[in-house]
Amino acid sequence: MAIITISRGSYSKGKEVAEKIASHLGYQCISRDVLLDASERFHIPEMKLVRAIHDAPSILDRFSHSQQAFIAYIRYALVQHVKEDNVVYHGLAGHLLLKGIPNVLKVRVIADLADRVRAEMKREKISEKAARSLLLKDDEERRKWTQALYGVDSRDSSLYDLVVHVHKLTVDDAVEIISDAVQRTPFKTTKQVRQKMEDYGLACQLKAGLAHSFDNVGVKSEYGNVLVYARGNEHYVQRVRKKAREVTGKMSGVNELEVHAVQKLPLDVV
């Protein structure tokens, strides 16, 4: 009973690993489904969501908060899936989007650049130079995205619980190692973990409801008591309070709602 996120570069065999783990453990395997759900629920074209989660923010994006809003929608859709438990997610940024859930086994699957180039050449029928250039560009885009939005380097191994190098170790070995690791104590879904998942789900739902209109807000929930932190003047905080009441009125599982004005958003908020 756990959640596994697989982070991967293009042609790193991460997708194959994820699908095999899901089949081996009898888990649900999700990736693009999350974007489709978010697109359907929030009426945003899927392409815009893909760009929000894939492309590094441009200068203009940094002044608008649409990218942040799209990420809030994607996170909400992802949390709805993982709340069911027993899930393998191999879409983009799972390890960052599910940061607030404790029993997530965060895995990165890597492969040598030469192997990746060969795979891309074969599939796309392009030259070695073109394949290499595309892969490096894609990797750089990922790095910039995580750096701009989360202030971390996607290549930093400490962001993950396990990094498996598929080279000497095969896809089947990686499947065995990850399936074995996820059975270990820290990744079991306990009663406390389930409560945290419920709280994280509430926070993500409210954040998605606020994200379209407000960018300087952070949300967290403790046992159904939802706390909203807003950074702005009194008028701004009043507007956030009104909207938060409206959104939580339609949500189930919320006991209390508090809205606080702050100078700096706390680190543990969504």
Residues in contact with other proteins by CB under 8 A are 102, 105, 108, 110, 112, 155, 157-158, 160-165, 167-170, 173, 177, 180-181, 184-187
Residue whose CB is less far from other proteins, 159 or 202: 159
130 vs 169, beta carbon nearer other proteins? 169
* Closest CB to other proteins among residues 20, 108: 108
Report the SS3 class of residue 184. Answer: coil
- The b-or-e profile of 30-44 (16+ CB within 10 A means b, else e) is bbeebbebbbeebeb
Distances (CA, A) of 37 to 133, 178, 188: 32, 27, 27
CA distance 134 to 12: 14
CB of 51 to other proteins, least distance (A): 28
| Minimum CB distance to other proteins, residue 44 (Å) | 33
Residue 184 or 242 having the CB closest to other proteins:
184
Least Å from the CB of residue 174 to other proteins: 9
Of the pair 76, 200, the CB lying nearest other proteins is at 200
Q: Which residues contact 202 (CB under 8 A, 6 or more apart)?
A: 221, 224, 226, 251, 253, 254
In Å, how far from its chain's centre is CA 74? 8
Least Å distance, CB 142 to other proteins, is 15
Shortest distance (Å) from residue 118 CB to other proteins: 16
* Closest to other proteins by CB, 163 or 262: 163
- In sequence order, what are the residues at sequence separation of 6 or more whose Cβ sits closer than 8 angstroms to the Cβ of residue 117? 128, 131, 132, 135
The amino acid at 196? K
DSSP string of 185-251, one letter each residue: GGGS--HHHHHHHHHHHHHHHHHHHHHTT-SSEEEEEETTEEEEEE-S-HHHHHHHHHHHHHHHHT-
CA distances from 81 to 16, 52, 161 (A): 20, 20, 21
Tokens of 124: 């796309």
Determine the Cα–Cα distance for residues 152 and 76; give it in Å rounded to an integer: 22
Instruction: Report the residue number, 157 or 213, with the smaller CB distance to other proteins.
Output: 157
